[in-house]
Structure 1
Amino acid sequence: MSNFRLSRLRQLVFGFYMSGMMSLLMSAVITWINTGLGSGFFMRWMASWVVAWAVAFPLVTFIAPLAGRMTEATLRRLTPEK
């Protein structure tokens, strides 16, 4: 596998896991805040998580390169040149 393909695959796999974990945790917090921990919490959480992950993964896939460029630009401004 070429370095380009391996790099792209790594980005997709990272985005898959990162978006899954972040959407899982965020949907838990938001569901808890909005509906409390009463009966049916787990099912409400899982339903909201599926939707959140379905939105988060494509967004992370497209936004990650932009965030990387913004990070590099910020660090260039904050790091003194030698």
Structure 2
Amino acid sequence: MKGRIPARFAPILFGGMLSIIMVSIISAVVLVVNQGITPDFAIRWLKSFLSTWPIAFPTVLVIAPLVRKCVVYLTTDS
């Protein structure tokens, strides 16, 4: 299928997608809890997202393989 991303990039794509989803949800929830929904919520959320995603993305890339190894260690096929 044309236009698909090669499988070798799957871990990076996974990290990018997961971190975008997580940061989007968490930054919105934190803003609502701490400041409420105000007329400038979208701008404040975007600023929060843009300042935290560059931290979350590489963190997911580093942590996800370690978590996978822990899960394999802690689980069984029984």
**What TM-score do you get using the length of structure 1 for normalisation?**
0.81
The percentage of aligned residue pairs carrying the same residue is 30
**Larger Rg belongs to:** 1
More helix by share: 1
Alignment of 1:1-82 (within 5 A): 6-7=7-8, 9-76=9-76, 79-80=77-78
Calculate the aligned-residue CA RMSD, in Å.
Answer: 1.5
In 2: Cα distance, 1:74 partner to 1:50 partner: 35
User: What secondary structure, in the 3-state scheme, does the structure 2 residue paired with 1:39 have?
Assistant: coil
Q: Alpha-carbon deviation of 1:74?
A: 1.2
Q: Deviations over 1:15-35 (max 9, x none)?
A: 101100110011000011111
Runs (5+) with no aligned partner, structure 2: 1-5
In 2: Cα distance, 1:15 partner to 1:55 partner: 12
Q: Which amino acid aligns with 1:20?
A: I
**What TM-score do you get using the length of structure 2 for normalisation?**
0.84
Runs of 4 or more off by more than 2 Å in structure 1?
none
Number of matched pairs: 73
Structure number with the bigger relative contact order (C-alpha 8 A, sep ≥ 6) is: 2
